[in-house]
Amino acid sequence: WSCRERCSKRDCMVSPRACLTLSAAIVVSALSPLHHAGMRATTRITHLPVCARTACAARAAPLLSEAAAAGDGALAAPAWMRPALFAGGGACAAAIASGGPLAAPLLLLLRAGLLAWPFVAAVRLYQSGKRRAALTLALSAACRRFCTRWWQYCTIPLFAGLVGWVTNKVAVDMIFYPVEFAGLRLKTYPEQPLGWIGWQGIVPAKAGTMAARLTELITTKLVDVKEVFGRLSPDRVSTLLGPGVDRILTTVVGEMVPGSLRGGVLGTGVAALKGLPADAQAELLALRHRYVADLTRDMQEHVHELVDFNELVVGGMVREKRLLIDLFQRCGKEELAFLVNSGFGFGCALGVLQMLVWLFYEAPWTLAVGGAVVGYLTNWIALKLIFEPVEPTRFGPFVLQGMFLKRQHEVSAEFADAMTEKLLSSQSVWDHVLHGSGSANFEALLHQRTSAFMASAAAVIYGGGTQPREFADPRWWVDLESRATRRTMELLPAELPAIHGYVDDALGLQDTLKQNLRRLTPAQFERVLHPVFQEDELTLIFVGSVLGLAVGYAQAAWDARSKKAQAARDAAVEAADAKRAPLPGAGSAAEPTA
């Protein structure tokens, strides 16, 4: 019917009305078994009347010959268009490569052109009468194939959705797991997840690099270390730690006395202390209080020599890689869930396009290639939607922004909680001070304050401002100070739990991190989580493509097997019909001849 003018000039046995009727029957049968236009359309193209099938066969020959004769010149562009396109494309490519002010709008124009090209090509194809006839036949054949095996064609979008979900799920798992390298360690590379035979999660493999980036963000954008430690009150620390210091002093003094004399000497010493005048006892308590308070002030003054944030955070995350994994999983829980679940939706949408291609061109390789494309695009699209656009962008009535960036307020709280629970708690900071790279500096400060405390305490006990070196060997006294300092360093960790709660509250690192994260610009905030995906984004997308290719190939093999089985069944039915049918010219023996 669409080409009745051409057919009216030829010796065609099909009238335009018959063509229209046949086309309507094909379209309605494609909708089977739905109710359409008040009628139940269950007729297959193979069940149409003989006249309709004859009309279709008679119509196919001239239309196919016209399509073949059309050649490549049917849609040829004007002579001036090709050079103009080459020149314009070259100019745009040069402008984009140069990175000038025109790069962004030209790149946007190029993307718009690539999106519009399929629709322009379809319109030009339909405007060509010869190819329009071929397109009509192709649509008719596609409708017939869909009606015959619709259940198989409907599995293509479902399989594509499954491919998208599986590839995205595998990609997310490969970001974090396995924590240690799994496979044969024939050849591995530093901070690279992929070895010759094996894999390690991207985050644990690059824990050092990622933790260093986070530390740089914390120390340059979020936390002023000296200002934070300046929030501690030396007097409050001394009050809380005072009873522990008394226990440490008792232990240290007792260990310096020979074992056989320890009980008597300690008992005599305690009795002597209790027998001191009240003002002397008060002065000793003030000395103890000043000892801890002055040590706290020294730590605040030299905090950069005692606390190396890079070593504290990076070292902790490298030693315990699950801390970094937990941090990223908590901050990006919704984005990771979207990355996995969106694979099914995007896969089904792409699978519909793949089904349309399969309807017109049944080649097994199209399913395999389609699976690879689905695996690639589902990962790529999901990653783009998570982090782009960085800045809020108005698109008509909508404001578009990356999913992760929209949750800046919520993610900031999660990040602060995760960092302060294990890495930046009072316990971890004190452990770093006592055993980290700054422990020697802390021991020097402790030795200085311990020596001053011992000298002042001795002067109070002996009265008259007597100095220890006046009645004791100076070398023995110096050795005594060193032993007391070392033993205090060993006993101090057991007494620190008394101040952990106060230190955590006073430093307020959780609130500081949270508030400063919320003040970051979207571009700065994006760097919190994006490096996790950006490190090996191409690897994840490539893995998705390979998995999609494998599933698509399996689907093509299953389809080929189904066709082969169907052909065998049809051949068996035809053979059985041939056996039951009488031979031509054969009749009854009693039948008289004409």
pLDDT for the residue 83:
65
Tens of each residue's pLDDT in the chain, 594 residues: 344 444 444 444 445 545 545 544 444 444 333 333 333 333 334 444 444 444 444 444 344 344 334 333 444 445 555 566 666 666 666 665 665 666 667 767 766 776 676 666 666 666 666 666 666 777 777 787 778 777 777 888 888 888 788 878 888 888 888 888 888 877 777 777 777 788 888 888 888 888 888 888 888 888 888 888 888 899 998 889 888 888 888 887 777 654 443 444 444 445 455 556 667 777 778 888 888 899 999 988 888 888 888 888 888 888 888 888 888 888 888 888 888 888 888 888 888 887 888 777 777 777 788 778 887 887 788 778 877 777 777 777 777 778 778 888 888 888 888 888 878 888 888 898 888 888 889 999 998 888 888 888 777 766 655 566 665 667 877 888 888 888 888 888 888 898 988 988 888 888 888 888 888 888 888 877 777 666 667 777 777 788 778 877 887 787 778 778 878 887 888 888 777 766 555 554 444 544
Instruction: Tell me the pTM.
Output: 0.61
Does the CA dihedral 274-276-281-282 come out positive or negative?
positive
Q: How many CB atoms lie within 10 A of CB 17?
A: 10
Say how far apart CA 559 and CA 369 lie, in whole Å: 15
**Close Cβ partners of 253 (under 8 Å, ≥ 6 residues apart):** 266, 269
DSSP per residue over 73-125, as a string? GGGPPPTTHHHHHHHHHHHHHHHHHHT-TTHHHHHHHHHHHHHHHHHHHHHHH
The Cα–Cα gap between 144 and 359 comes to 9
pLDDT score for 122: 64
Helix, strand and coil percent figures for the chain, each rounded to 5:
75, 5, 20
User: Tokens 């260990």 appear where?
Assistant: 255
Query: Rounded distance, CA 582 to CA 565, Å?
Result: 28
Helix, strand, or coil (residue 585): coil
Domain boundaries, the chain: 4-69+84-148, 220-256+282-321+410-521
Omega before 592 within 30 of 0, i.e. cis = no
- Distance from first CA to last CA of the chain, Å, rounded? 47
